[in-house]
Amino acid sequence: MRGRFPFHSGRVKIVILDAYTANPGDLDWAPLEALGQVQTHDRTPSGLIAERAADAEIVLTNKTVLDAESIGRLANLKYIGVLATGYNVVDLAAAGARGVPVTNIPAYSTPAVAQMVFAHVLNLTQHVASHAEAVRQGVWADCPDFCFWNAPLAELKGQTFGIIGLGQIGRETAALAKAFGMRVIAHNHRPPREQPDGIEMVGLDEAFAQSDVLSLHCPLTEKNLHLISAERLKQMKPSALLINTARGPLVDTEALARALHDGEIAGAGLDVMEIEPPPAGHPLYSAPNCHITPHIGWATQAARRRLIDIAANNVKAFITGNPTNVVNQDQLP
C-alpha cells in the first residue's frame, strides 16, 4: 500500500453516504473538497448505496452499513472511511478481500464526551433541569421561603468516581473528576503501561462496589455485552449513579430499568442505548431518575470539525500511499 495510489483519471471521486449527522449545515467539507470531487447525501438507505456510490473510488460512511453485498457491488471502490471511532458498520473482511482499506476517526471527541459525562453527573446531583422547570411553572414564585429544592442535592467532593475503560476518554473524564475533588478508581481489561497519576487501579468487583459514580468508557466486545447486568447492579451502592457514554449494549436495559424501579441504584445518565433510536414505550423512559440524551456526547461543533479534518487527513494519507488509522490491516492482502 506504499507509493501513490494509481487513480484512473482526474480527481478522485469521494461519496459521503450520510453526511448530515457530522455536518447538518453548520460546517463545510472544504478539507475533503481539496482532495477530490465530493458528493454528499444526507442519508442513504441500503437500497441506494450501489446507485449513489457506483463510480466512487472513496466512500465515507458514519452509520450507513456497508456489508459484503454492498461492497461487492462497488466496482471502483478503493477505500472506505468511517466518520466515527466505531467501525462495526463495515464488513472488514469483505473490504480486505477486495484490498480496500477501512479507516476510522480516533480520539476526535475525547473532550466532548468527557464533558457530557459531567453534564449527566451534575444533572443527577444538582437536578438543574427539574429545578429550572419548577421555577418556570411558578413553584418558586409561590414559595414561602427564599429558596426550595425538589430533590436531595449532593456534593461530589470526597465521593468515589469509578471508571471502567481507561482509554483516552476515560483519562480525560478522570481529570475532570479529580478537579471536583473526587477519589478516582478505574478498572481496565489490561493493566496500563504506566500507573496513571492520581488514579487507583482496582478489580472489576471493587469498581462496582466502591463507586458513588460509575462511568463506562470501554469498547463493546463479545465478552462485555451487558456488562451492566442484574448481578452487577446488585453489587453497586443504593446511592450510586451509573453513567454510560460509551456503547448502549454494555447495559442490560431490562435489568437497569428493574434496578431503578427497585431502588438498587439511585439514578442513571445515558447518552447511548442498545437500539438507537430507542422505540416508543422503552422501559427506561418510565424508570425513575433515568435521564437519556440522544447520543450527542460526540457532537459538539469543535469535535465535528476535528472529525472532518481527520477524515480528510486519512484520505490524503491514503492517496499519497501512506495510509493511517487503518482498522482492517490484518485482512488486507
Catalytic center residues: 247, 276, 295
- Residue 204 dihedral angles phi and psi, to the nearest 5°: -65, -40
- Residue 111 dihedral angles phi and psi, to the nearest 5°: -65, -30
| Other Cβ atoms within 10 Å of 113 Cβ, number | 25
- The three cell numbers locating residue 215: 462511568
166-171 long-range CB contacts below 8 Å, 24 or more apart?
166/192, 166/196, 166/199, 166/201, 166/217, 167/217, 167/218, 168/107, 168/110, 169/109, 169/110, 169/113, 169/114, 169/217, 169/245, 169/246, 170/215, 170/217, 171/196, 171/199
| Other Cβ atoms within 10 Å of 275 Cβ, number | 10
List of residues 6+ apart from 282 with CB closer than 8 A: 253, 273
- The three cell numbers locating residue 190: 489490561
